[in-house]
Amino acid sequence: MLDIRYLRQNIARVEERLATRGQQIDLGPFVKLEGQRRNVLQEVETLRNQRNVVNRAIGEMKKKGEDFTSLTAEMGKVSDRIKGLEGEINRIEDELSVIMLTLPNLPHEAVTPGGGPEDNQVLKYWGEKPRLDFTPRPHWELGEDLDILDFARGSKITGARFTLLKGGAALLERALISFMLDLHTEEHGYHEVLPPFMVNRESMTATGQLPKFAEDLFRLENTEYFLIPTAEVPVTNIHRGEILAEADLPLSYAAYTPCFRAEAGSYGKDTRGLIRQHQFNKVELVKFTAPEQSDGELERLTDHAEEVLERLQLHYRRVSLCSGDLGFSAARTYDLEVWLPGQGTYREISSCSNFGDFQARRAGIRFRREKTGRVEHVHTLNGSGLAVGRTLVAILENYQRADGTIKVPEALKPYWRGKVPLISRPS
């Protein structure tokens, strides 16, 4: 969440920066409640001062043996009034907290203003589109012909947007998870964790999924547990409510998890194939940094995600999101978009974000400065390293051959269990 002290002192500036997101965000209710809070606090302070003065007077009267009954009765009324006003302050602050939880993060100063995806900036391209001497096919056709993607049976087992991976696809998915985790832990310095795949309401609130995006989540009936939409949620909450040592920063974690998303707002989008599923696998990278480290760590985290694509020899581009396309909690985001020849388009395969202290304020994650002892909020960052299912899609479409078989990338051969590095239809 935003720093409420900064918001109180910079209402106009915050309104200006939030407006660049292209959303109608009305801070009027906050301003009104803030006015009420100040008025009540002022009255409480006046009454407390009055009570202190009278209590001193009562003390003097006691010494002199004078009757102070009327003053005691008066002060009882004042104390009751103060108690009632303190309850009013608590009510106002609860309402302010609800508002604060619904306000998105402020865009980073380096983010370009814009209304949506059309205003995003392509920062670089890597590699070249594959030169195929035949008409490339989309992954859903390839997968069904090879009998490795079974959309019908996935739907039968569960419902729409669930898929059964078989044979070569199942092996490829597993190989990709191991390859990504090995790369990030052995060469990039991330500490591997395997978190719970269900989290509580506090964890979802800390990372910004609640209360705003409740309809996109799967909640377990009669519980306060939710299936995770991404490993960002449980991994960020590892340090919820903790004070970290400055010397330990940055902390870097890598985690494989399945992810579950209701996709409530995506009806009719990407209904074919694996692009938009209710369940998918992902390897996530999460960092906790000091504020002055976070910009540089975002570059490093994004480089680490890009290296997965480069080792797999997949053509991609890095895109800097404009203010109007940022996620709710993000201050700055780079999207990596991989080329899919079977669909003739680029598709997001990783989103790498710096959240500043936005999530840390919600989660109460702080660190102590070594020299001064001062306690500050950390900055949190995360990114997909990568979305496994979409990486599988990219391999099927980029490594397809004219006969319908799929070549396995060189980087994955150590994970192919000694088999011929080729996916073909079972005989």
Q: How far apart are CA 375 and CA 367, in angstroms?
A: 6
Angstrom distances, CA of residue 141 to CA of 134, 147, 164? 15, 10, 15
Gap between the terminal Cα atoms of the chain? 56
- DSSP H or E run through 97: helix 69-102
- DSSP H or E run through 70: helix 69-102
Sign of the CA dihedral running 203, 205, 208, 211: positive
The radius of gyration computed from the CA coordinates of the chain, to the nearest angstrom, equals 28
Structural contact between residues 159 and 133, judged by C-beta atoms closer than 8 angstroms: no
276 is annotated as an active-site residue: yes
Place of tokens 């109180």: 8
Three-state SS annotation for 116-148:
CHHHCEEEEEECCCCCCCCCCCCHHHHHHHCCC
Q: Which of 81, 276, 311, 317 is catalytic?
A: 276
Q: Which of 261, 318, 347, 362 is catalytic?
A: 261
Helices 167-186 and 388-398 sit at what angle, rounded to 10 degrees? 120
Structural contact between residues 347 and 275, judged by C-beta atoms closer than 8 angstroms: yes
427 is annotated as an active-site residue: no
Q: In one letter, which amino acid is 29?
A: P
Would strands 379-387 and 279-289 be described as parallel, antiparallel, or unpaired?
antiparallel
Place of tokens 């890598």: 254
- DSSP H or E run through 77: helix 69-102
261 is annotated as an active-site residue: yes
Q: Residue 284: name the closest of 352, 368, 333 by CA.
A: 352
Would strands 279-289 and 121-126 be described as parallel, antiparallel, or unpaired?
unpaired
Q: Which of 202, 348, 368, 376 is catalytic?
A: 348
Look up residue 234 and give its two tokens. 């449980």
Q: How far apart are CA 171 and CA 150, in angstroms?
A: 15
Backbone angles phi, psi at 276, to 5 degrees: -130, 85
318 is annotated as an active-site residue: no
Q: Residue 282: name the closest of 336, 329, 334, 231 by CA.
A: 231
Look up residue 182 and give its two tokens. 């090995």
300 is annotated as an active-site residue: no
Q: Which of 203, 351, 353, 384 is catalytic?
A: 351
Place of tokens 């087992």: 157
- DSSP H or E run through 317: strand 316-320
Positions marked active-site: 261, 276, 348, 351, 390
